[in-house]
Amino acid sequence: MICRGVVKASAIAASLLVIAATSSNAQPQQGERPLSLEKLERISEYLSGQVADRKIPGAVVLIQRHGKPVYLKTFGVQDVATKVPMSPDTIFAVYSLSKLVTSFAAMMLIDEGKLALSDPLSKYIPAFADVKVGIDSKTAAGEPVMKLAPPVRPITIEDLMRHTSGITYNNTGGDLIRQAYDKSDIFADNPDNAALAERIAKLPLSCQPGSTWRYGYSTDVLGRVIEVISGQTLYQFMRERLFIPLAMPDTRFVLEKPAQWARMAEPMPHDTVMGKSEKARRARTRWESGGGGLLSTINDLARFGQMVLDGGELDGKRYLGREAFALMTTDKVGPGSGVEHDDNYYPGDGFGYGLGFGVRTGFGVLKPPRAGSIGELKWDSGSGTYLGIDPKEGTVYIFLEQTGIERGRTIPTVKRLFYGAFED
């Protein structure tokens, strides 16, 4: 009962703060479009309906303009079993939003001259010096078989950061690559980052380094590189360099206290996709997954997002140099890069990919085009979380929910309703 009361009070306080701020914060600066608070209520109507229809337990949405909240609302409950109301303090498993933080942390090391994009991965993890590329072939009898070939060049740090390393997940790449990943059981015995990287190095690459944008464990391996250079665990480095100075107290890999667990968002019981993923994630207590293991709140993510919107600086403290920030947020896999796109190209239509961020470069081929602005930065996740940064409109927009089966509908709908609230 005490935990419920604390959460509810916090939510009310946050809502009052937003109500007091909204009338002025919706006003645009020069070159920006006005944002209609009335039209933003369409987001409220939509998500209230999703909760009422038991599609999702609840959600939290924040739209922040020039560092001030324009819209912050909570919907439903964080857990249908406990009925604890959703709150800005609710903790979410943000899955692949972790990639943004890990990539930014690595870019800080690059900015300091402790790491270089051109460095071979084997400089930090020697096991990758012997990596091979898996090539689908057939036996004389016509049976599928994988042949191993040497890479045409070493995997580099840039490959890890732009997902061109050839390292994949066990649900992407060719059938034989997937089978190799499945058989390897890389998570046996609860490995830490060091052990996991060694195991991944023994698996075949799904394509030649530098040739193809393909999602996989690249950012997890990058997290291990950060550990090797810093001499700290990934969490220790992130906490010291980002979470403490940015005032992100609730961002971590593992919950340790009952009070933290009482704030944890849970998926719907029938959401077996998310349920299975969460069961596996919570069992891997030693793996600080730079690619998908972070837990966070909308308040914490707003701090990180605002720092990115402000070009790597917040509250007078610079976290990344201007040149390094520009390098990180410029498309690295578009025309002229020589990089092909996997069938599952998650940046999506109209987007390129920088060194950790999806980067809006055009309006794509879809008619009508997807909502958004040129130069927009974003990423989303398999747990239904989304972080968008729009420099053109001076906004950070965050949508948090916990669902594996509904996210394909809810994320694009909320984004479309958000951009539909701008007045032309």
Percent of the chain with pLDDT over 90: 88
pLDDT at 321: 98
Question: Cα 145 from chain centroid?
Answer: 35
pLDDT at 28: 75
CA atoms of 294 and 296, how far apart (whole Å): 7
Rounded alpha-carbon distances, angstroms, from residue 417 to 36, 45, 86, 379, 422? 11, 10, 21, 18, 9
CA nearest neighbour of 161 among 1, 291, 25: 291
The phi and psi torsions of 313 (rounded to 5 degrees) equal: -135, 145
The owner of tokens 């100075």 is: 245
Find out whether 223 and 288 touch, Cβ atoms under 8 Å: yes
Q: How large is the average pLDDT for residues 6-16?
A: 38
Q: Are strands 212-213 and 340-341 parallel, antiparallel or unpaired?
A: parallel
Categorize the per-residue pLDDT at 208 as very low, low, confident or very high, splitting at 50, 70 and 90: very high
Q: How large is the average pLDDT for residues 127-152?
A: 92
pLDDT at 1: 27
- From-to residues of CATH 1.20.58 in the chain: 117-230
Categorize the per-residue pLDDT at 26 as very low, low, confident or very high, splitting at 50, 70 and 90: low
Find out whether 303 and 246 touch, Cβ atoms under 8 Å: yes
pTM of the entire predicted model: 0.93
Domain 2-102+233-419 fold: Beta-lactamase (3.40.710)
Contacts of 320 (CB under 8 A, 6+ apart): 104, 107, 108, 111, 312, 328
pLDDT at 3 over 60: no
Question: Burial letters for 191-209: b for 16+ Cβ neighbours within 10 Å, e otherwise?
Answer: bbbebbbbbbbebbbbbbb
Look up residue 106 and give its two tokens: 């690595």
Q: Any idea which of 2-11, 30-39, 146-155 has the lowest mean pLDDT?
A: 2-11
- From-to residues of CATH 3.40.710.10 in the chain: 2-102+233-419
CA atoms of 208 and 318, how far apart (whole Å): 36
pLDDT at 8: 38
CA nearest neighbour of 34 among 21, 43, 25: 25
The owner of tokens 């994988």 is: 146
Find out whether 309 and 378 touch, Cβ atoms under 8 Å: no
CA atoms of 338 and 341, how far apart (whole Å): 10
Q: Any idea which of 209-213, 288-292, 366-370, 418-422 has the lowest mean pLDDT?
A: 366-370
Domain 117-230 fold: Methane Monooxygenase Hydroxylase; Chain G, domain 1 (1.20.58)
Find out whether 59 and 398 touch, Cβ atoms under 8 Å: no
Question: Which of the 8 DSSP states describes residue 372?
Answer: -
Find out whether 302 and 63 touch, Cβ atoms under 8 Å: no
CA atoms of 278 and 256, how far apart (whole Å): 16
Query: DSSP H helical segments within 53-163, as ranges?
Result: 98-111, 157-162
pLDDT at 41: 98
Contacts of 303 (CB under 8 A, 6+ apart): 246, 247, 248, 314
* CB burial of residue 143 (10 Å; 0-12, 13-18, 19+): exposed
pLDDT at 152 over 50: yes
CA atoms of 119 and 149, how far apart (whole Å): 22
* CB burial of residue 313 (10 Å; 0-12, 13-18, 19+): middle
